Structure 1
Amino acid sequence: MSESNLPTPQAGDLLISEPFLQDENFSRSVVLLCEHNSEGSFGLVFNKPSILRLNEIVEGFDFLDLEVYVGGPVEQNTLHFVYCGDKQLSESIQIGEKLWWGGDFEELKSRLKTGTFDLESIRFFLGYSGWAPGQLTDELTENTWIVCKEELNITAFNYSPEELWKSLLKNMGGEFKLIANYPTDPRLN
């Protein structure tokens, strides 16, 4: 695919890995692109649960047994979060119509303790996925990623990791619907 024919990714888009991507960090992954500009790109793998729970990694969250996802291979000692719906926290960055990245963590902590934040609408991530300037464009040229312009909403928070990857591709139709059914290892077919 030539660079001029590439879809232009932007914050809020989803990057769906091609079915045979061998990088274990991104195999069958869906990355929520939070930032894409001349300085590089930043995203969070939306469908890779970690083995950790929020109450195991954040002090003072003993009351909250929530799954934490692996946002990517970069700085896995950092915690990030996204939520959907109306803006609920100061300092949140809008990355979609009703999709927010980050925000005031102390405010979030307080809202979670008092039960005034919808747990179904938030997802936490350790680490992130990052691309240097031009790197994501190169990977798109190499057909490593499929850019999905579908708006991420609360239903995406409830899909299993494999279901999300398949469902997004099926919803895109055409050749993508076929890709959704590719076996993980075609040699076993």
Structure 2
Amino acid sequence: MSSTPSQSFKSHFLIAMPSMADPSFTGALTLICEHSEEGALGLVVNRPSTLLLSEIFQQMGITTNETLYTGGHSVYAGGPVSQERGFVLHSCESNWDNCMTICSGIQLTTSNDILSAMAENRGPKQSMVALGYAGWGAGQLEQEIADNTWLTCQADPSIIFETPHHLRLNAAAKTLGVDLSLMSDQVGHA
């Protein structure tokens, strides 16, 4: 993805409106990691799966300190596309292979070197591992936003890394002064 659309939503959260009909995104908070004229890529950041990070390490043959990951660090369901593909959202202390800065305080890495470092307690201070991603074709995200499917706001690393997953959607909405519980699930335009 090379060209940037007139309004890029990279480094923004997409806040699913109560009227969201797609079950893949109902109640979802999605971080847009890339956005160009060709489309967009994002990761849902508030849906832990039943898969644990220790299981990922085991499947990949990565040796880890057993006591480090006994607390049940969940792997997140990043979206409905390529659910076997892994992504690590993390704080910005180091650069890893295949690392991209999303915004101040958030990087995205898709290489195994970061997972090996995490297993050895040499990884980033803050991280979230996800499988799968959300994708939009050319103009699709812009149309969904125009159709009131999503609210958007600037991404905040503390919402991803410091806020419990079940509170992230409302925390993002509150940055806009919005209380989602007061919103109707009916779609319309005034």
By the TM > 0.5 criterion, same fold?
A: yes
1:171 aligns with 2:172: no
Deviates more, 1:48-57 or 1:136-145: 48-57
Which residue pairs with 1:72 in the alignment?
79
CA gap 1:56/1:113 in 2 versus in 1, 3 angstroms: closer
1:69 & 1:85 partners in 2: Cα distance?
A: 20
- The amino acid of 2:102's aligned partner reads I
Inter-partner Cα distance in structure 2 for 1:183 and 1:10? 23
Query: What do the CA deviations read for 1:28-50 (whole angstroms, capped 9, x no partner)?
Result: 11100000001110000000111
Structure 2 counterpart of 1:4: none
Matched residues in 2 for 1:184 and 1:161: separation? 23
The 5-angstrom pairing of residues 123-138 of structure 1 reads 123-138=128-143
Q: C-alpha distance in 1, partners of 2:63/2:120?
A: 13
How far, CA to CA, are the matches of 2:166 and 2:182 in structure 1? 12
2:51 is the alignment partner of 1:15: no
Partner of 1:159: 163
TM-score with structure 2 setting the length: 0.80
TM-score (norm 1): 0.81
> Displacement of 1:160 after TM fit?
2.8
Instruction: Among all aligned residue pairs of Structure 1 and Structure 2, give the percentage whose two residues are the same amino acid.
Output: 28
Residues 5-33 of structure 1 deviation map (CA, whole Å, 9 limit, x = unaligned): xx934321111110221221111111000
Deviation at 1:116, TM superposition (A): 1.6
Is contact 2:91–2:124 with CA below 8 Å preserved after alignment? no
Give unpaired runs (5+ residues) of structure 2.
1-5
- Give the equivalent residue in structure 2 for 1:113: 119
Distance 2:168 2:33 in 1: 18
Q: Give the Cα–Cα distance (whole angstroms) in 2 for the partners of residues 185 and 136 of structure 1.
A: 20
Summarize the Cα distance change of 1:170–1:81 in structure 2 as closer, same or farther, 3 Å threshold.
Answer: same
Pair 70,55 (structure 1): closer, same or farther in 2 beyond 3 Å: same
Q: In the alignment, does 2:23 pair up with 1:24? A: yes
Q: Residues of 1 paired with 2:8 and 2:27: CA distance? A: 19
Deviation per residue, 1:90-128 (Å, 9 max, x gap): 43101101210115422x133223312245x11111110
| Contact 1:56–1:62 (Cα < 8 Å) also in 2 | no
2-side partners of 1:20 and 1:50: how far apart? 23
Give the match for residue 49 of structure 1: 48
Gaps of 5+ in 1: 1-6
- Whether the 8 Å contact between 2:18 and 2:185 is mirrored in structure 1 is no
